[in-house]
């Protein structure tokens, strides 16, 4: 029997969980983000379909969402509630006979299954998830992860869609490259400069051309993506976090070095709590800074040796900030600790100068 990949994606997951808890919101535009106050600095985590009609999208500032949809109901993020609902969904998928489940996030997973008719399994999954959670999902069916993932968009909401090697060109060939999973606006713009506008253009492009623009690995990978090819094996190995990070959007800009330093130290302490719970030390420190009005910079540094000392992590992050030599007020800071791999492997950087900087 053939081996299939199913991509299960919960419909408007976060908003749907909130509506379950507040049935009176059913059918209304609902926006979830931050502390639920659209006058504060925060972004949209998710929006119900009713809110999306007005152009509200994930990642959008709440203030922008309010302008686009003044009548929307704004709610705060409640991570424990979403964790709990997600756990029930994933357990339900694992209960499907013969299923191998690869969790991708709160609201989506790949399911590997060997059956003659994958549509029957897709419909069973929808019924089982609905019965267990009162939440709806869409299911994409494919012979690779890429095709299954893309197929889901054609099935939304509450539907299924099958996309295979035989139907790929018919369904996707004339679509712009940005419709592909993994191709964002920047990559699609770079492809356009090469005369590659559609999925078929990408699927038939020369490897040498793509390799020159994107590198010897990424270039051929993009062509493979244009053909819908890629991995088809679903891996149920438990996901191991690579890093833990904390970030805060400040309601009042941080205007002085002392304010920035205090905020970085606070974030570093929170991150250390997270990595300590993992039992793994920090190997690389990442810093994210968003200056006023909305200019974002990311920097990172590998440590000379792994550590769980919040002072070392904070000092490293602050040094990265100071090296930016930018006096503009700060509206967002983030500190992330990339941890030593679970196998304990670590190659210390070669150092230069008195600071031991890589």
Distances (CA, A) of 213 to 16, 192, 199, 206, 217: 42, 12, 17, 11, 11
* Active-site residue flag, 153: no
Nearest to 236 by CA among 122, 112, 138: 112
Q: What is the DSSP letter of 174?
A: T
Nearest to 230 by CA among 215, 216, 220, 241: 220
- 187 Cβ neighbours under 8 A, 6+ residues apart: 177, 214, 222
Half-sphere exposure at residue 195, Cβ-oriented, CA atoms within 13 angstroms: 4
Nearest to 199 by CA among 168, 164, 224, 174: 174
Q: What is 122-173 written as a DSSP string?
A: HHHHHHHHHHHHS--EEEEEESSHHHHHHHHHHHTTT-EEEE-TTTHHHHHT
Choice among 18, 102, 108, 338 that is catalytic: 108
State the first-to-last Cα distance of the chain, in angstroms, to the nearest integer.
53
Q: In what order do the strands lie in the sheet containing 46-47?
A: 46-47, 30-32, 73-75
Distances (CA, A) of 325 to 41, 186, 301: 25, 27, 17
Instruction: Give the C-alpha separation, 209 to 205, whole Å.
Output: 7
Q: Which residues carry out catalysis?
A: 108
């Amino acid at each position: 029997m053939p081996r299939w990949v199913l991509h299960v994606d919960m419909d408007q997951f976060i908003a749907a969980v909130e509506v379950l808890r507040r049935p009176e919101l059913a059918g209304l535009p609902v926006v979830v983000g931050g502390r639920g106050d659209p006058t504060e600095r925060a972004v949209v985590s998710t929006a119900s379909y009713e809110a999306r009609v007005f152009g509200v999208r994930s990642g959008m500032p709440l203030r922008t969402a309010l302008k686009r949809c003044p009548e929307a109901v704004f709610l705060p993020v409640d991570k424990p509630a979403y964790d709990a609902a997600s756990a029930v969904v994933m357990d339900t998928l694992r209960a499907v006979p013969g299923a191998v489940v690869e969790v991708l996030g709160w609201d989506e997973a790949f399911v590997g299954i060997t059956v003659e008719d994958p549509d029957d399994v897709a419909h069973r999954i929808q019924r089982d998830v609905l019965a267990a959670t009162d939440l709806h999902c869409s299911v994409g069916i494919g012979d690779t992860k890429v095709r299954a993932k893309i197929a889901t968009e054609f099935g939304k909401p509450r539907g299924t869609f099958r996309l295979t090697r035989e139907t790929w060109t018919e369904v996707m060939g004339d679509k712009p490259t940005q419709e592909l999973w993994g191709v964002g606006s920047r990559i699609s713009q770079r492809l356009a400069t090469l005369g590659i506008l559609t999925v078929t253009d990408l699927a038939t492009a020369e490897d040498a051309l793509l390799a020159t623009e994107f590198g010897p690995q990424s270039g051929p990978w993009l062509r493979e993506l244009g053909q819908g090819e890629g991995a088809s094996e679903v891996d149920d190995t438990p996901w191991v976090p690579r890093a833990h990070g904390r970030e805060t959007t400040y309601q009042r800009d941080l205007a002085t070095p002392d304010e920035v330093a205090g905020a970085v130290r606070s974030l570093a302490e929170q991150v250390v709590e997270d990595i300590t719970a993992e039992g793994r030390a920090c190997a690389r420190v990442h810093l994210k800074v968003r200056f006023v009005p909305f200019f974002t910079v990311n920097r990172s540094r590998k440590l000379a040796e792994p550590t769980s000392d919040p002072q070392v992590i904070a000092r490293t992050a602050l040094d990265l900030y100071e090296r930016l030599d930018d006096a503009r007020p700060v509206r967002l800071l983030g500190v992330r600790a990339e941890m030593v791999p679970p196998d304990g492997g670590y190659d210390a950087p070669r150092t230069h100068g008195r600071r031991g900087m890589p």
